[in-house]
Amino acid sequence: MTALSVNINKIATLRNARGGRSPDAVRAAVDIERFGADGITVHPRPDERHITRADVYALAKVVTTAFNIEGYPDDRFMAMVLEVKPAQATLVPDPPGVLTSNAGWQVSAHRDLLAGVIATLKKAGIRTSLFVAPDADMVRAAADTGADRIELYTESYAHGFEADPAAAVAPFVAAAAAARACGLGINAGHDLSLQNLRYFKEHIPGLHEVSIGHALISDALYYGLENTVNMYKYQLR
């Protein structure tokens, strides 16, 4: 079964909007695991507008499922990840001020950077994943860096799903086939939701993990957090 990793950035965003400690992102992560999630994802950014470095270190002490830290592999990020040693580091090409991840790696152009970073992470026993567009050439280039997995950037699928699901998922089917041929594991994330998740899962054989934050936390406002986690898990069965 495909694993569900819940991105808790939006819980931290709500906390930071008012200051203080409510809602408690660390407690929420523990509860989300208890509700059945297979992992916790965070994406700390330099301005700490949602998840902070302190959150990362606190979460590392309590997360018992797969802890996934996303981010751009600058020196500060790498030092933190190597100290925390999460189960997985997902490398994204975000510039510092970007609102949310909005592009996959141009892998060939950054091959030397990525290969060096990935070698360092793997030496520390950390599984690596590269955030990439659904492009077979990018997938094959990702394999050349030594990455363990790719994370398919699914925004285009989510945007095209309502009008034409088959057309929306087709590039991802091809990219996933290229990944399997290269021996890469397949993750996916960005704008996956209760409406489009099952169809995506059914068309991507060997999908290891989805990382979902914004849609899941938004749905939890209506359905409750425990119920929502289980609704997403149901879509993956």
What span, in angstroms and rounded, lies between the C-alpha atoms of 228 and 220? 6
- Please confirm, yes or no, whether 70 is among the known catalytic residues: yes
Burial class, 23, CB count within 10 angstroms (exposed 0-12 / middle 13-18 / buried 19+) = middle
**pTM (global) more than 0.75:** yes
The domain spans of the chain are 3-235
b or e along 210-231 (b: 16 or more beta carbons within 10 Å of the residue's beta carbon)? bbbbbbbbebbeeeebeebbbb
Report the CATH number of the 3-235 domain: 3.20.20.70
pLDDT for position 97:
57
pLDDT confidence of 94, banded at 50, 70, 90?
Answer: confident
Reduced to 3 states (helix: H, G, I; strand: E, B; else coil), residue 69 is strand
What span, in angstroms and rounded, lies between the C-alpha atoms of 90 and 126? 10
The active-site residue out of 33, 70, 151, 209 is: 70
Q: Does the structure show a pLDDT above 60 at 99?
A: no
Q: Does the structure show a pLDDT above 60 at 98?
A: no
pLDDT digits (tens, 9 = 90+) for 152-193: 999 999 999 999 999 999 999 999 999 999 999 999 999 999
pLDDT for position 96:
58
What span, in angstroms and rounded, lies between the C-alpha atoms of 131 and 187? 9
pLDDT confidence of 100, banded at 50, 70, 90?
Answer: low
Q: How many CB atoms lie within 10 A of CB 195?
A: 12
Average pLDDT, the chain: 95
- Please confirm, yes or no, whether 43 is among the known catalytic residues: yes
What average pLDDT does this structure show over 102-111? 86
pLDDT digits (tens, 9 = 90+) for 31-42: 999 999 999 999
The active-site residue out of 43, 50, 151, 209 is: 43
Which DSSP symbol is given to 200?
Answer: H
Q: Would you say the C-alpha torsion 224, 36, 194, 131 has a positive or negative sign?
A: positive
- Please confirm, yes or no, whether 190 is among the known catalytic residues: yes
What span, in angstroms and rounded, lies between the C-alpha atoms of 215 and 82? 30
b or e along 162-193 (b: 16 or more beta carbons within 10 Å of the residue's beta carbon)? eeeeeebbebbeebbbbbeebebbbbbbbbbb
What single-letter amino acid sits at 193?
S
The active-site residue out of 33, 151, 190, 209 is: 190
What average pLDDT does this structure show over 115-140? 97
pLDDT for position 95:
64
pLDDT digits (tens, 9 = 90+) for 191-209: 999 999 999 999 999 999 9
pLDDT for position 103:
73
